[in-house]
Amino acid sequence: MVDPYLRRKVTDRVVRGACVLGTLIALVPLFSVLYYVVVQGIGGINLDFFTELPKPVGESGGGMGNALVGTLKLVGLAGLFGIPPGVLAGVYLAEFGEGKFAKVVRFSADVMSGVPSITVGIFVYSLVVVTTKQFSALAGGIALAILMLPMVTRTTEELLKLVPESLREAALGLGVPKWRATLRVMLRTAAPGIAVGVMLSVARVAGETAPLLFTAFNNRFWSTGINEPTASLPVNIYTNAVSPYEDWHRQAWAAALVLLITVLILNISARFLVRSRVRAR
Amino acid sequence: MNVERPTNLTQKTAKKMDVDAESSPAIRSANDKARLEAVEPASAPQPELNSKPRWDEVSVSEITPKMRTEGLHASFGASEVLKGISLPIAEKLVTAIIGPSGCGKSTFIRCLNRMHEVVPGATAKGKVLLDKQDIYDRDVDPVRVRGRVGMVFQKPNPFPTMSIRDNVLAGLRLNGVKMADPDGQVERALRQVALWEEVKDRLAKAGTSLSGGQQQRMCIARALALEPEVLLMDEPCSALDPIATARVEELIHELRESYTIVIVTHNMQQAARVANFTAFFYLGQLVEYNRTPVIFTRPNEQRTEDYITGRFG
């Protein structure tokens, strides 16, 4: 007796096999990058790496303390400039965005998220660096903020739209003014999701190199305030990697590892945040 | 505390409904007193029957209206959903709006607290009087109207980020009302909807952790916490099982002591069980409005009779 379902079973196996194979192929580059960066970078990680300045050529040791602080400073500024307007624009699009103007805003946000990051760098260079006559953390922060803005805006909009209409009606039906319903019910309900979106966009810009090359530039020393050229991990990875010195290469790998772990932590904590919020109190 | 109050209306209609019972098992289950009592022991004291107004002897023309619509038209964009409704709503009694899908009954009650205009493109014309004041008057704030005329929606819609306690207080909190005794407010509101005993030990749990029927009663408590004068209920039981439905209906019986209630329902037996007056809507028009027993036993209009006997709808 031939199994009447044989054909279907075979097809099922084949399709499932193809899916598993595709997944494995997709995972290969991801895990090789992780593996390679860890293997190469782990040797350069020590306390000095986090606290010391880079040593001049010829001397071994030293660290990237300044670049670490610089990256935090840049990302902090980017968040400061990028998150509030991004969230507010998202609220506008989701709650009041019916007309033509909203369409234009939405479209430009989509276009902006596709703009190559180096273009944003040039833009901020001519706008901020040229006018203030110096590379600065401020300029770098602005460049990163511009990159974050469309991501934050669209995430906020999409997540607000996911909040059921019935909640808005519930709030309005209780005699709550619309602005307060939007803020305290709609935005509050979407908040964990928006926080995740924001963290992911922070993680993305934290690894950006191109827009920083001629905005924050680089600095071999500690920078104070936000009006000096500022070192950052990505730019340091770039300058160290293209240098001919073995020591510098090791530092670049270590910086890559630190950056990777930072982004990973941001991603994972974003996910963790969702899960802990979703669970009932 | 039963679904069937020993009142003229319910007895009369129950009898009428028993005739129909062959075709509608829902009635039988809801009329199943014994089972209901087994599930839900009576907790509140029996209210005095004599304190009720003799509404069964009041005719439509003698209604003391809490609200009244006059020539109310409502539209979504170009399509007119309500075509001139004039209807008085009796104070501290229950008015049911029945009719087939799309007849405008939900739109009608959404006009009573200006929730209709919340939908983009929705407009309303005509008058809606609340204590003789037109709530569509230019200098009336719709937000204030919604505080006086509360609403319960088709599907329970608790705020998912809030605990049971915060859900009940949401209306007050979101309106920035300073509360002297929030815990007392919570208890009072939850007792009013007979939910207190079930949830008193887990007030800090998420409102969404309750069952559908409990959520709906919590939403009613949330509306009541604002102490509205009128309570609008837009098919409040359509997402609930028969037992939860029976509980909400019991609740409506109790609430009419202190509130004016307008309930939209798809379920004619429900209208017969809970309402003092019933309005039959068809295609955006008010076909017939009368005391509930009259609507269900000897309607004046052929269309009403066709609808309640299940010939269409």
- Per-domain boundaries in chain A: 6-44, 48-278
Distance CA A75, CA A212 (A): 11
A175: contact with B, CB 8 A cutoff: yes
Structure token digits, residue A165: 């209409």
Three-state secondary-structure class, residue B287: strand
Nearest CA in chain B to A280: B206
How many percent of chain B have pLDDT more than 90?
Answer: 63
Q: Does A2 touch chain B (CB under 8 A)?
A: no
CA B33, CA B48: separation in Å to the nearest integer?
Answer: 20
**Confidence category of residue B3, pLDDT binned at 50, 70, 90:** very low
Residue B56 pLDDT level (bands cut at 50, 70, 90): low
- Three-state SS at B284: coil
For residue A175, give the nearest of B160, B175, B205 by CB distance: B175
Report the CATH architecture of A48-278.
Answer: Orthogonal Bundle (1.10)
Q: Report which of residues B70 and A62 the model is more confident about.
A: B70
CB-CB neighbors (< 8 A) of B224 in chain A:
none
Q: Where do the domains of chain B lie, and which CATH numbers do they carry? A: 8-46+60-308 (3.40.50.300)
Q: Which pLDDT belongs to residue B164? A: 95
CB-nearest to B161 from A168, A177, A189 is A189
Provide, as residue numbers in chain B, all residues whose Cβ is less than 8 Å from the Cβ of A191. Answer: 161
The answer to whether the Cβ–Cβ distance between A281 and B155 falls below 8 Å is no
User: Which residues in chain A are closer than 8 Å to B150, comparing Cβ atoms?
Assistant: 173-174
Predicted pLDDT of residue B1:
40
pLDDT tens track for B148-160: 999 999 999 999 9
Looking at the predicted structure, is the pLDDT value of residue B60 above 90? no
Distance CA B257, CA B51 (A): 9
Task: Say whether residue A185 is in contact with chain B using an 8 A CB cutoff.
Answer: yes
Model confidence at B222, in pLDDT bands (50, 70, 90)? very high
Q: Which residues, other chains included, contact A63 with Cβ-Cβ below 8 Å and sequence gap of 6+? A: A46, A48, A49, A50, A51, A52, A53, A54, A251
Given a cut of 50, the residues of chain A with pLDDT beneath it are 280-281
DSSP β-bridge partners for residue B281: B286
pLDDT of amino acid A61: 78
The per-residue pLDDT of chain B, averaged, comes to 83
Instruction: Please compute, for residue A57, the number of CA atoms within 13 A of its CA located in the half-sphere on the CB side.
Output: 6
Q: Which helix (H) or strand (E) holds B122?
A: strand B122-130
Pairwise CA distance, residues A153 & B264, whole Å? 40
**Where does the pLDDT of residue B80 fall: very low under 50, low under 70, confident under 90, or very high at 90 and above?**
very high
Cβ burial of B230 (10 Å; 0-12, 13-18, 19+) is buried
Percent of chain B with pLDDT over 70: 81
**Nearest-by-CA chain B residue for A188:** B161
Helix, strand, coil % over all residues of chain B, rounded to 5? 40, 20, 35
